[in-house]
Amino acid sequence: MLLELIKFEDAKTAGFHYGGDAGIKYGIIFDDEVWMVKYPKTTRDMRNPQISYTTSPLSEYIGSKIYETLGTPVHETLLGTRKSKIVVACKDFLAESRQPLDGITSLVAAKLIPFHDLKNSFMASDFDAYSGSGSETLLNEVLDTLYGQDDLKHMPEAVKRFWDMFVIDAFIGNNDRHNNNWGLIFSYNKGIMELAPVYDNGNAFYNKRSIAQMQKRMDDPVAMKEDALISIRSAFKYKGLDNEGHKINPFEFMQEASNSDCSEAVLRFATKVDICKIENIINEIPETFGVLSVMPKVQKDFYKQLLRIRLDYLLELAEKFKD
């Protein structure tokens, strides 16, 4: 059965505003709840004249649904249309907590604290040992923060979440898990920190590729393997001999088995992954919706081939790690 896209045309605009550079986004009211609508980003400033917009709404929707099948808490997503564009609506997981707390209008019940801010607070304890930037994604700094920052060091589930994201992001090809794209929620009324659901998965599946480019890659098995395993990069970096950060190939990193927490995440992935469920998510998306192109068959086949190649690699690693 094909997915029925939702027409968000008549949804009222909500008074919430959202940051980030991944295209236009704003809040709407849908079914009496607040959702953030994300539009595809224009490619007119990119070196790709074959397409005019990225397919980031599809990537956000499919990537988030894959996270869901793997049992990782993730924001809820819906695929639909608005202003003659294919859009993804992401349920605002903080909307309910934005109500005044105990009648004090200057406070909200909870807020998102991105890892960027947690890293900033941790590095303040030793200025000379670190880059001094919450935005810097050097892996050693990220791990030091996870194990040493006051709000994180007693939260082993944060380490587990980080490595689960590392593996799943590699699987879906998301290279944009920077330090503002994950974090914690602080609840004022509960007085506790807890992990935020995974959010912002739109930079997956080579979302700037044209259909013609996808077909060309699929016609070349070597090119497909390169796309799936070799050219992919993580948002996280190693510091090289030249003291510059170099983005990690996540599959090479996992193969090295140099971090036991990462290897355990690969094993968790292998026990939870269901490729039939994942391919059904893709198959259920219609090729067209009215006059709009949604997800042509070539695009579906390209995504599924990428995932199959990566799955085989990860399952082989899992078998190796069992020994």
**pLDDT tens across 240-249, in order?**
655 567 999 9
Domains of the chain with CATH codes: 6-322 (1.10.1070.20)
Question: What is the predicted pLDDT for the residue at 53?
Answer: 60
Q: Which strand (E) or helix (H) includes residue 4?
A: none
Please state, in angstroms and rounded to a whole number, the distance separating the CA atoms of residues 155 and 287.
43
Q: Do residues 124 and 134 make contact, with C-beta atoms less than 8 angstroms apart?
A: no
Residue 67 token pair:
């996270």
Q: Do residues 208 and 41 make contact, with C-beta atoms less than 8 angstroms apart?
A: no
Question: What is the predicted pLDDT for the residue at 267?
Answer: 98
pLDDT in tens, 35-87: 999 999 765 544 554 444 689 999 999 999 999 999 999 999 999 999 999 99
Q: Do residues 68 and 201 make contact, with C-beta atoms less than 8 angstroms apart?
A: no
Please state, in angstroms and rounded to a whole number, the distance separating the CA atoms of residues 75 and 200.
9
Question: What is the predicted pLDDT for the residue at 97?
Answer: 63
Sequence-distant (≥ 6) Cβ neighbours of residue 219 within 8 angstroms:
none
Question: What is the predicted pLDDT for the residue at 41?
Answer: 78
Low-confidence ranges of the chain (pLDDT < 50): 45-46, 49-52, 100-101, 104-107
Please state, in angstroms and rounded to a whole number, the distance separating the CA atoms of residues 67 and 49.
32
Q: What is the pTM of this model?
A: 0.92
